[in-house]
Amino acid sequence: MNTQSLGHIFIDSLLINNFVLSVFLGICPFIGCSNKLSTAWRMGVSVIFVITVSSVLAFGTNLMLVALGAEYLRIITYIVIIASTVQLVEMFIKKTSPALFRALGIYLPLITTNCAVLGVALFQTAREYNFAQSLVFAIASSAGFALALILMSIIRERLELSDIPDTARGTALVLMLAGTLSLAFMGFAGMGAG
């Protein structure tokens, strides 16, 4: 049972507890796919898609597991659901929108290893969200992931031609920038707390 309002969940998971900058989920694709804006937004859109679908499926599965008293199978079933969701979403996009498929093509399979997807499924169960809450949570937190990814890619494009010390090149620099972004996002904390 969880009584948080939908608006509150939305702001909370989009900004205050941003998945990348505050909860530390999906750091690998955040580092790997943030060097170009065009890559970043495509990855972001794919993740929003997959997380939303897998969240709905995980919600249904959890109901079934609880009814059967088989909560101990949760981790295994969730990971299977995510792997198949990625596959399903890939097939669905291929059928309905070939243009979108060409744009997202190589990013979809990468999402299976994105811990944000499993994170959404696990957090919505741990917090005992109902269906509407889960859905809002999934959309907002995946949009938060996309937002962080896009912001980072804009910063990295600007830094392309700057002179950076050798030791700080690559991942270390991205982490420094992420820390600064995370500091900025801390300013959102306290919103909705009155």
Partner 1 sequence: MPHDHGQPAPSPAENMEAFLDGLWKQNPVFVQVLGTCPTLAITNSVSNAVAMGLATLFVLVCSNALVSAVRKLVPKQVRIATYILIIATFVTIVDYLIKAISVAVYKALGPFIALIVVNCIILGRAEAYASKNPVGKSILDGLGMGIGFFIALFSLGSVREILGAGTFLGFPLFGPNYQPWVLFLLPPGGFFTLAIWLMVFAAWKDRKKRREVKTMAEAA
Partner 2 sequence: MSAANLPQPAASDSVRMIRLMGSVSLICGLLIVGTHIGTMEPIRRNQEFITKETVSALLPGVDKQAVYSLVNGDLQPGAQPNVPVLYAGFDKQGALIGVVIETSERGYADTIKAMYAYSPDLQAITGFQVMELKETPGLGDKITKDPAFLDNFKKLDVTAGPDGKPAHPVVTVKHGTKKNPWEVDAISGATISSRAVGRMLAKSTATMLPLVRKNLDRIRKGN
Quick one: which of 1, 68, 99, 126 contacts partner 1 (CB under 8 A)? 126
Site for partner 2 in 65-84 (CB under 8 A): 72-73, 76
Nearest to partner 2 of 73, 184 (CB atom): 73
Q: Compute the chain's Rg from CA coordinates.
A: 18
Instruction: State residue 113 phi and psi, 5-degree precision.
Output: -90, 10
Residue 95: helix, strand or coil by DSSP?
helix
Site for partner 1 in 2-61 (CB under 8 A): 21-28, 31
- In contact, 47 and 142? CB cutoff 8 Å: yes
Give least dist CB 1 to partner 2, A: 5
Of the ranges 36-44, 68-76, 97-105, 145-153, which one interacts with partner 1 (CB under 8 A)?
Answer: 68-76
Give least dist CB 158 to partner 1, A: 19
Distance between CA atoms of residues 163 and 55, nearest Å: 43
Distance between CA atoms of residues 141 and 118, nearest Å: 12
Using rule CB under 8 A, residue 16 touches partner 2 = yes
- In contact, 144 and 47? CB cutoff 8 Å: no
Using rule CB under 8 A, residue 145 touches partner 1 = no
Quick one: which of 2, 180, 187, 191 contacts partner 1 (CB under 8 A)? 180
